Amino acid sequence: MSERNGESSRDDIFSKAIRAGKRTYFFDVKSTRGNDLYLTITESKKRFHDDGKHSYEKHKIFLYKEDFEKFADGFQEALEKIKSLQEDENDYINPSDETAVEAVAETEYTDVSFEDLDRE
């Protein structure tokens, strides 16, 4: 951490940018005046206006050291839930499982005879 005019600098100690489609996420580690570390997570998205100009819409979260573990636990639990739901969704109908496809076909479609099409 650098010193500037006798005060602790609040410059970024670590910064990581992650581009994800139209959004960029920034993870910045900073220090307080008391040299405690905290994390800011910023989502930045480019917005275009009718006049052709653009601006950046930003949302920022401040995460302090006393919350790191709880945040990480909650984040991990949410990711695991997403994975579980996606696996459940993929297990519902697996295209390689012919019996599952046949079972769905039998329950979703009625038996139609071509002779029924000529009747009024």
CATH number of the domain at 87, please: 3.10.450.700
Tell me if 118 is assigned to some domain.
Answer: no
**Dihedral angle over CA of 98, 99, 104, 105, nearest 10:** 70
Overall number of domains in the chain? 1
116 part of a folded domain: no
In-domain check, residue 120: no
CA distances from 114 to 105, 111, 119 (A): 18, 10, 10
The answer to the question of residue 84 being in a domain is yes
Question: What pLDDT shows up at residue 98?
Answer: 55
Q: What is the pLDDT of residue 57?
A: 93
Backbone angles phi, psi at 62, to 5 degrees: -105, 125
Cα 118 from chain centroid (whole Å): 53
81 inside domain: yes
- The mean pLDDT values, 10 residues at a time, for the chain of 120 residues are 45 91 94 92 93 92 96 96 89 56 48 51
Is 95 contained in some domain?
A: yes
